[in-house]
Amino acid sequence: MTGERPADEAKELLLLNGATSGTGPTGTFNLTGDIIVTGQTKFVIPKGMTLKGWARTLASLGAFIINWQYANDGSTFRTLYTDVLTASQAEFESEYASRPRVFRSSAGTEAVQITYSGAAVGGTVGNVAFNLELTQD
C-alpha cells in the first residue's frame, strides 16, 4: 500500500470560511477559501458527486444556529442538519468523523447552502470554518 488514492477516485477538500453579517439575526453564509476567492452563498454539486461536511468551527460573542440546507432543484432549499452554538460557548468545534453531513447529486442541479439564525443580536458577529469534501460516487 503506497498511501496514494486510486487514480479513478476524484476527491477535493475545501476549507471555507465565513461570518454572520453583524447587522441582522438571519442570513446565508458568504463563504470563501483558498481557491474560492469570491464569496459564494450556495454550491451546486456536480452530477454524480457527493459533498461531505467533515468538520466545522463556530465562534461568536453570542448564541446562534447554523442550518445545512439542500435543494434538489438548486433553489428550493430545505434544512437537513442543524448545529447550535449556545450563549455560554465562545467557540465550538465538531468533527463528523463517524457521520459527516452528506449531500448527493444525481442530476447535477442539487445545491447546498449554509444559513444562520439568532445571530448578530446587538451587532455581534459569528465566524465559521467548514471542512467540506467533494468526492466522485
Is 117 within the bounds of a domain?
A: yes
Beta bridge partners of 92: 58
Q: Is the pTM of this model over 0.85?
A: no
- Average pLDDT over the chain reads 83
Q: What is the residue range of 73's domain?
A: 16-136
Q: Give me the CATH number covering residue 103.
A: 2.60.120
Q: What is the mean pLDDT of residues 90-109?
A: 81
Q: Is 39 domain-assigned?
A: yes
Contact by Cβ (8 Å): 56, 130: yes
* pLDDT given at position 121: 54
Report how many domains make up the chain. 1
CA distances from 10 to 42, 98, 104, 130 (A): 21, 21, 15, 20
Please report whether residue 82 resides in a domain: yes
Residue 1 pLDDT exceeds 50: no
The pLDDT of residue 108 is above 90: yes
Mean pLDDT confidence for 70-90: 86
Q: Is residue 2 part of a domain?
A: no
Q: How confident is the model at residue 52 (pLDDT cuts 50, 70, 90)?
A: very high
pLDDT at 64: 77
Domain-embedded: residue 8: no
Mean pLDDT along residues 20-47: 89
**9 located within any domain:** no
Whether 74 is in a domain gets the answer yes
Residue 103 lies in a domain: yes
User: What residues form DSSP beta bridges with 57?
Assistant: 93, 129
